[in-house]
Amino acid sequence: MPPMRPMVQNDPNAKADMGSIKKILAYCRNYLPAVIAALIFAVGGALTTIIGPEKISDLMNEITSGIITGINTESVEKICYALVAIYAGGAVMRYGQQFITATVTQKVSRKLRTDIDEKINRLPLSYFDKTTKGDILSRVTNDVDTISQTLSSSSANLISSLALFVGVIYKMFQTNWILALVTIASSLMGFVLMSLILKNSQKYFNRKQSDLGVMNGHIEEIYTNHNIVRAFGAKDGEKAKFYEVNERLYDSNWKSQWFSGMMHPIMQFAGNLAYAMIFIVGVAFIVNDNSAVTLGTIMAFVIYARLFSQPLSTFAQSLTSVQQASAAAKRVFEMLEAEEQQDESAKNAAVPQVKGNVEFRNVKFGYSPEKTIINDFSASLKAGQKVAIVGPTGAGKTTMVNLLMRFYEIDGGDILIDGVSTKTLKREQVHDMFDMILQETWLFDGTIRENLIYNKEGVTDSQLDKACEAVGLKHFISTLPQGYDTRLNEALNLSDGQKQQLTIARAMIKDAPMLILDEATSSIDTRTELVIQQAMDRLTAGRTSFVIAHRLSTIKNADIILVMKDGDIIEQGSHEKLLSDSGFYAELYNSQFVTA
């Protein structure tokens, strides 16, 4: 285990991000009537709490004055009944406030999650290239939960505490202004100390949320690829990284909680100091025969002091939660305000009947402005051709396919499908033109049927049988207890090859006009590959297909082979022609069959 050491990061955001808090409040605008109702209930509950001490003071004075002459039981009963009614009404109002606040909070949280889900579909792929999956997941779950908890608890407490705070001050000055000043001065000592703490604590709350996102990203990455970590013996190194990230999270979490934990003791000390000062000053008044202060007045001010310090303590605790919510909201709204893909609602171009003619005209592209990956790519491909794209790693093969699918926007030049620029088409239109089978398989938690007919309606069992038979899966599925309705889970234990066969069958069922195969048979054994290759030949017949392959033996029958190097096409032609030219392709091809 690596040594545990403090790790401190400087964070310029030492104060709560008021901009993020305002954005959260903006989400509550649609529920303004409910918020107003909650406010009314909060004020009503505060008023009942404030009136209570006055009645208790009357009760105490009634009892003390009647000790010698006799207690007026009728008057005492009336005061007691009034107290019961006041506090019962206060309880009803506080329940109403909490109910409304909880309802509004959950609706706001639901809207936040919905907006994030919709936002993800509008974000360009470049955003996900720069942000880890774990960090995105943390924003959707942990950060939204933090905001929800703060709105649910702190917002209700802040409203009622504010009303109580104002009302108590008014009643104290109405009763005795000298004791009111003594109570406020004693209590404000804690408030000043609390302000100093808040001034220095926000940076740790920001760090905590950020470190939590880093931790989630690290765990998601390592646990997902745990077999690779074990295979390469990198357990100790990854453990050291985990301890480093965990120590950072521990440091920021501990400091934020330490500051948070100081709030209550400080306010409790201020409250106890206020009690002592009230008794000292109050007794001094009574000893000097000052009729403005009675034993009932002192008892009322003891309650007022508690009620006065209570909202201050609530402010302290709520502001701690607000700081956490502020840090969480900052991360959430960073995502919600991230630059989106260009709005294409005004585009009305279309390709009525896709034939599959594709042309690249002087295409230029780079994942970052300072580094161009595709320099000047040009190619003209006819409908129905099987086009193979080959080249060394990093040549730009997959990048060209991503540009063709408009996963990324080109920096220069143009890409045309049947003479229509893809810039004038909506992304969804371009995506619908293609089937896409990638090297990495993607299957979701559901039945085999649901995975095969993904996002397509009206698929019959005979169509499923035909596709699965073509890829060599028909017999395997027939041996399963529920057939196509078998749920994909760990118990089924599909091999990588079988997963790839399912994705290929899914593409066959979609039956789009054009096809993209990116190392689609890399996870399949040689014998299964022959079955798949035959299915591919049937699948690619009559449609434009783009095949990215490192095993050059699989693309011998391609109509045209584009050889890429450093973002440019350096050779193109059929397999036989490129071999006879004895150029870069011939060198690549022959290198795969050289024996040591």
| Positive/negative CA dihedral, 393, 399, 400, 404 | positive
Q: Is residue 58 very low, low, confident or very high in pLDDT (cuts 50, 70, 90)? A: confident
The residues facing 417 across adjacent strands are 358, 420
- Residue 412: closest CA among 384, 445, 451, 372: 372
Identify residue 205 by its one-letter amino acid code: F
Please indicate, yes or no, whether residues 545 and 586 belong to a single structural domain of this protein.
yes
Please indicate, yes or no, whether residues 229 and 265 belong to a single structural domain of this protein.
yes
Please indicate, yes or no, whether residues 564 and 490 belong to a single structural domain of this protein.
yes
Q: Is residue 8 part of a domain?
A: no
Mean pLDDT of 282-295: 74
Residue where a domain terminates, one of 336, 368, 388: 336
Q: What is the pLDDT of residue 415?
A: 93
Which range scores top for mean pLDDT: 103-112, 129-138, 314-323? 103-112
Is the model's pLDDT at 514 over the cut of 60?
yes
What is d(CA 272, CA 263) in angstroms, rounded to the nearest whole number?
15
Q: Is residue 345 part of a domain?
A: no
Looking at every residue in the chain, the average pLDDT score rounds to 80
Residues whose CB is less than 8 angstroms from the CB of residue 51 and which lie 6 or more positions away in sequence, other chains included: 86
Q: Give the position of tokens 């048979």.
A: 521
Instruction: Give the strand pairing for 386-390 and 544-548.
Output: parallel
Please indicate, yes or no, whether residues 398 and 512 belong to a single structural domain of this protein.
yes
What is d(CA 154, CA 313) in angstroms, rounded to the nearest whole number?
12
The residues facing 379 across adjacent strands are 360
pLDDT in tens, 460-510: 889 898 888 888 888 888 888 888 998 887 667 777 778 888 888 888 888
Q: Is residue 187 very low, low, confident or very high in pLDDT (cuts 50, 70, 90)? A: confident
Please indicate, yes or no, whether residues 319 and 413 belong to a single structural domain of this protein.
no
The residues facing 390 across adjacent strands are 563
Please indicate, yes or no, whether residues 402 and 283 belong to a single structural domain of this protein.
no
Question: What is the token pair recorded at 528?
Answer: 């299964």
Q: What is the pLDDT of residue 249?
A: 87
Between 411 and 160, residue with greater pLDDT: 411
Q: Is residue 73 part of a domain?
A: yes
Per-residue CA distances from 268 to 37, 263, 272, 293, 480 (Å)? 32, 9, 6, 26, 67
Mean pLDDT of 169-184: 84
Please indicate, yes or no, whether residues 179 and 89 belong to a single structural domain of this protein.
yes
What is d(CA 288, CA 34) in angstroms, rounded to the nearest whole number?
52
Please indicate, yes or no, whether residues 264 and 383 belong to a single structural domain of this protein.
no
Mean pLDDT of 280-284: 82
Domain tally, the chain: 2
Q: Is residue 13 part of a domain?
A: no
Q: Is residue 97 part of a domain?
A: yes
pLDDT in tens, 219-255: 877 777 777 777 677 778 888 888 888 888 888 888 8
Q: What is the pLDDT of residue 523?
A: 59
Q: What is the pLDDT of residue 596?
A: 42
Q: Is residue 485 part of a domain?
A: yes
Q: Residue 434: which domain range?
A: 358-591
Please report, to the nearest 10 degrees, the dihedral formed by the alpha carbons of residues 134, 135, 139, 140 taken in order: -30
The residues facing 416 across adjacent strands are 359, 421
